[in-house]
Structure 1
Amino acid sequence: MQADQILTEIREANLSYLMLAQTLIRQDREQALFRLGISEDTAALLNTLSPAQMMKIAAGNTLLCRFRMDDDLVWGLLTSHGKPAANDSVSRLHASILMAGRHQEAA
C-alpha cells in the first residue's frame, strides 16, 4: 500500500469516527462517553462541531481514534486465545468489565 493510499484511508477513518462519535453523543451521552472512552469536555466539543469543522479535523494525517485495550489480559480475553469458543461470551463480558473500570479511573 502506498503512502497516499494510507493517508486517504486515515482521513476516511477519521471522518467516520467523528461522525459516529457525534451520533453516539447525541443519542445517548453517557453511553457515548463509555463506548468512546472520552471525557465530558471532549463530548461537548464533538457535539458542537459543524460538518466543515469535522472535514477539516479529519483531513489530518494522524489517526484520531486509538485502541483502548493496551494490555495482554484484555487482548487475551477478547481474542479467546487458546480457549474453547464456549467461553467466548464470558471472556468478552470479563473484558468489558475490565475496560469499564479503566474508563471510570480515567474519568
Structure 2
Amino acid sequence: MNNEQILAEIRETNLSYLMLAQNLIRADREQALFRLGISEEAADRLASLSPAQVLKIASSNTLVCRMRVDDDLVWTLLTNHGKGAGADSTSRLHAAILMAGKHQEAA
C-alpha cells in the first residue's frame, strides 16, 4: 500500500466515522456518548456539523477518531480465542464493562 492509498483510506475512515457519529448522536445521545467514548461537548459539536463541514474535516490526512482500547487487559479479553463460546461471551462482556468504566472516568 503506497502513501496515496493510505491517505485515501484515512479520509474514507474519517468520513465514515463522522457520519456514524452524527447518526448515533441523533438516534440515541446517551448510547452514542458511551459507544463513541466522547464528551457532551464533542457530541454537541459533531451533531451540529453541516455536510460541508463533515466533508472538510474528513478530508484531513489525520484520523479524527482514536483507538479507545489502550489497555492490555481489554485487548486480552477481546482476543481470548479458543476458550469456548461461553468464555468468549464472558470475556467480551468483561471488556465492555472495563471500557464503560473508562468512559465514566473520562466524563
TM over 0.5: yes
Counterpart for residue 11 of structure 1 = 11
Q: Quote the Cα distance in structure 1 between the aligned partners of 2:50 and 2:72.
A: 38
CA distance in 2, matches of 1:71, 1:26: 30
Structure 1's consecutive aligned runs of 4 or more residues displaced over 2 angstroms after TM superposition are 81-86
Give 1:85 deviation, angstroms: 3.6
TM-score, structure 2 normalization:
0.96
What is aligned with 1:53? 53
Match of 1:2 in 2: 2
Give distance in 2, aligned partners of 1:85 and 1:61: 40
Q: How does 1:60-99 map to 2 (within 5 A)?
A: 60-81=60-81, 83-99=83-99
Tell me, yes or no, if the aligned pair for 2:81 and 2:88 is still in contact at 8 Å: no
Structure 2: which 5+ residue stretches go unaligned? Answer: none
RMSD (Å), alpha carbons: 1.0
1:52-80 CA-partner distances (Å, limit 9, x unpaired): 00000000000111111111100000011
TM-score, length of structure 1 as denominator length: 0.96
Q: 1:26-59 CA deviation, whole Å, 9 max, x = no partner?
A: 0000000000000000000000100000000000
Tell me, in whole angstroms, the C-alpha distance in 1 between the residues paired with 2:19 and 2:76.
30
Q: Could you say which residue in structure 2 is the equivalent of 1:27?
A: 27
1 CA distance for matches of 2:75 and 2:84?
A: 16
The amino acid across from 1:26 in the alignment is R
- Find the aligned partners of 1:76 and 1:83 in 2 and give their Cα distance: 12
Task: Mark the CA change 1:79 to 1:67 in structure 2 (over 3 Å): closer, same or farther.
Answer: same
**CA drift at 1:82:** 6.0
Q: May I ask how many residue pairs the two structures share in their alignment?
A: 107
Identity over aligned pairs, percent: 74
